[in-house]
Amino acid sequence: MGKMTFVVDFPDGQEPPVGAGSDILGGALVSVSFNDAVESGDYVASFLGYLQGGLFWLEAWLEVAEDNG
């Protein structure tokens, strides 16, 4: 079974209700995040990159915070 990730921007207060039975473009909803999970994932990827570069976790987190204002 193929899976896709996409982010849809809705005006504040106009987000549609979603649940386990929601049909999304012919597919079944299996996961939902009520924020921009793709953007959040960028922080995680940056953090892991700094850790792999040999930084201690706190140093890595501070670098990510500095990179993202």
Distance, in Å, from the CA atom of 62 to the CA atom of 69, rounded to the nearest integer, reads 10
Q: What is the pLDDT of residues 1-56, one digit of tens each?
A: 677 777 778 898 998 888 777 888 888 877 776 666 666 666 667 666 767 777 77
pLDDT at 43: 66
Which of helix, strand or coil describes residue 68?
coil
- Of residues 11 and 63, more confidence is placed in 11
Distance, in Å, from the CA atom of 29 to the CA atom of 24, rounded to the nearest integer, reads 6
pLDDT at 41: 63
